[in-house]
């Protein structure tokens, strides 16, 4: 269990190169299961979730190799149909093998997927949609596995009752080799989905986003290999933009994608953040003097994404006035609040009155366990001070790291492996911006 010792308060200044997108890099290796030809993927971030995902493929008998930031998978032919519990339960994207396994081999046995502890995160929408395509999928609570089989997946119209990012990806991955045409209604719109689609189409798939929330997939007989470069990570760019403004510094971000950050950029500007689009793929972030309290409500993309709300909370702790964050996508995504309060933040929970919560919230209302809160009120600006804090999930980790950078004194951050899941060499890259961070590995402690 590594930890960081972070000494603030230091403004961050310099240049940051955004790495490849985690939420693409976790899905792309699965496309290898759809072909017997070689798949080569560039711009893969060296984060632990990627290595966990390669272990999922390896448990199916599919070998892979990473050289630099390029992933090579020679052949996607599986020799197993089971993803072992201890391998699949570590990350959310392990369930994405379902579609390709059913499409090519007609069988799969996968555990309940894991991932950040930010809610129940069931895959009921994935299962219902695959069932509509002709699969039989049963969850056996005695062994903790989904047992799935399908003689042949058939194209059909899938209407997702609520937005699901990996659910949409699951059906795309299942439909590309299915018989006939599949139409996905109420499809998720995250840009990462379109990156996956672009890569699959280069392999010979026929996938079109015909309207903002409608995707049509015509099944084909087989797919060829591919060499592809994945998109940069939007969530990393947002994290760095917040760190620059919250610390009172100026950071120029390379591999920037403002076209996929509209909701963030408008809130950031409204809060007093400064955005300079220097050239294509290069954006400079800082702040114009005082920050002002700015309320946000998270929404499925293209709304203000749930992955951005935790870092946003730190920015609001430095803003003048009271701001609110209303989280509508996950039912338990405020684990960082108690830790920020230890550092002096003034944050309280409250539950906004919502006329029809089951419809309004993206999670299944029935998954809301007792005592969860969906909104927080932040009073600022406050001078944060050092503390010993613990990270519960990836974005909470980045948030506490930013807070420690702007707090006075030396803070100790436990659970750093959570940050390593989604940010490559984060402390080395922050040190280049002037941060004072030391990683203490377990043998130090």
Active site residues: 116
Closer residue to ligand EPZ (CB): 23 or 286: 23
Judged by CB under 6 A, the stretch of 9-17, 18-26, 76-84, 207-215 that binds ligand EPZ is: 18-26
- What is the rounded distance in angstroms from the CA atom of residue 84 to the CA atom of residue 56? 8
Among 17, 36, 38, 124, binds ligand EPZ (CB under 6 A): 124
**Size of site (CB under 6 A) for ligand EPZ:** 34
414 binds ligand EPZ (CB under 6 A): no
Closer residue to ligand EPZ (CB): 166 or 374: 166
121 binds ligand EPZ (CB under 6 A): yes
Closer residue to ligand EPZ (CB): 125 or 342: 125
Judged by CB under 6 A, the stretch of 11-19, 22-30, 198-206, 311-319 that binds ligand EPZ is: 22-30
126 binds ligand EPZ (CB under 6 A): yes
Closer residue to ligand EPZ (CB): 37 or 189: 189
Among residue numbers 205 through 264, which ones bind ligand EPZ (CB under 6 A)? 235
Q: What is the closest distance, in whole angstroms, from the C-beta atom of residue 331 to ligand EPZ in the complex? A: 6
**Contact indicator for 306, 297 with CB cutoff of 8 Å:** no
Q: What is the closest distance, in whole angstroms, from the C-beta atom of residue 383 to ligand EPZ in the complex? A: 29
Among 167, 219, 249, 272, binds ligand EPZ (CB under 6 A): 167
165 binds ligand EPZ (CB under 6 A): yes
3 binds ligand EPZ (CB under 6 A): no
Q: How far is CA 282 from the centre of its chain?
A: 22
For residue 346, CA distances in Å to 315, 342, 381, 383, 403 come to 13, 9, 9, 10, 13
Annotate each residue in 72-101 with x if it binds ligand EPZ (CB under 6 A) or - if it does not, as one string. --------------------xx--------
Q: What is the closest distance, in whole angstroms, from the C-beta atom of residue 271 to ligand EPZ in the complex? A: 21
Q: What is the closest distance, in whole angstroms, from the C-beta atom of residue 93 to ligand EPZ in the complex? A: 5
- Taking Cα atoms as reference points, which of 311, 129, 163, 136 lies closest to residue 235? 311
413 binds ligand EPZ (CB under 6 A): no
394 binds ligand EPZ (CB under 6 A): yes
112 binds ligand EPZ (CB under 6 A): no
Among residue numbers 287 through 346, which ones bind ligand EPZ (CB under 6 A)? 301, 305-307, 329-330
Closer residue to ligand EPZ (CB): 4 or 260: 260
The residue assigned the tokens 């309060």 is 341
Q: What is the closest distance, in whole angstroms, from the C-beta atom of residue 127 to ligand EPZ in the complex? A: 7
Annotate each residue in 361-380 with x if it binds ligand EPZ (CB under 6 A) or - if it does not, as one string. -xxx----------------
26 binds ligand EPZ (CB under 6 A): yes
| Positions that interact with ligand EPZ (CB under 6 A) | 22-23, 26, 92-93, 116, 119-126, 163-167, 188, 190, 235, 301, 305-307, 329-330, 362-364, 394-395, 422
């Amino acid at each position: 269990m590594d930890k960081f010792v972070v000494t603030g308060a230091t403004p961050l200044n310099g240049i940051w190169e955004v790495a490849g997108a985690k939420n693409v890099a976790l899905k792309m290796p699965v496309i290898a299961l759809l072909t017997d030809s070689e798949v080569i993927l560039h711009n893969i971030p060296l984060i632990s979730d990627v290595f966990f995902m390669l272990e999922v493929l390896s448990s199916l008998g599919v070998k892979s190799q990473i050289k630099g930031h390029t992933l090579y998978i020679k052949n996607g032919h599986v020799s197993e149909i089971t993803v072992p519990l201890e391998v699949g339960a570590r990350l959310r994207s392990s369930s994405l093998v379902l579609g390709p396994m059913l499409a090519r081999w007609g069988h799969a046995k996968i555990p309940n997927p894991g991932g950040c502890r930010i809610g129940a995160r069931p895959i009921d929408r994935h299962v219902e949609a695959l069932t509509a395509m002709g699969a039989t999928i049963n969850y056996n609570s005695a062994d903790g596995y989904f047992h799935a089989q399908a003689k042949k997946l058939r194209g059909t119209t899938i209407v997702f009752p609520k937005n699901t990012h990996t659910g949409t990806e699951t059906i795309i991955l299942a439909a590309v080799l299915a018989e006939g045409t599949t139409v996905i209604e109420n499809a998720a719109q995250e840009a990462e989905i379109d990156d996956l689609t672009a890569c699959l189409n280069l392999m010979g798939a026929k996938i079109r986003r015909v309207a903002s929330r409608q995707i049509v997939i015509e099944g084909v007989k087989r797919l060829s290999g591919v060499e592809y470069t994945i998109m940069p990570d939007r969530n990393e760019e947002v994290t760095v933009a917040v760190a620059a403004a919250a610390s009172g510094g100026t950071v120029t971000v390379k591999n920037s994608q403002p076209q996929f950050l509209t909701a963030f950029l408008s809130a950031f500007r409204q809060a007093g953040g400064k955005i300079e689009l220097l050239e294509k793929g290069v954006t400079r972030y800082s702040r114009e003097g005082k920050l002002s309290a700015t309320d946000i409500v998270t929404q499925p993309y293209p709304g203000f994404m749930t992955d951005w709300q935790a870092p946003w909370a730190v920015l609001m702790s430095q803003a003048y006035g009271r701001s609110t964050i209303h989280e509508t996508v996950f039912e338990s995504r405020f684990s960082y609040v108690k830790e920020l309060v230890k550092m002096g933040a003034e944050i309280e929970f409250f539950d906004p009155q919502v006329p029809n919560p089951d419809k309004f919230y993206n999670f299944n209302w029935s998954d809301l366990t007792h005592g969860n809160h969906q909104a927080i009120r932040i009073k600022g600006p406050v001078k944060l001070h050092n503390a010993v804090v613990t990270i519960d999930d990836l974005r909470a980790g980045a948030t506490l790291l930013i807070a420690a950078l702007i707090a006075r004194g030396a803070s100790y951050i436990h659970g750093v492996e959570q940050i390593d899941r989604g940010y490559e060499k984060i402390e080395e890259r922050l040190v280049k911006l002037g941060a004072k961070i030391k990683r203490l590995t377990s043998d130090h402690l």
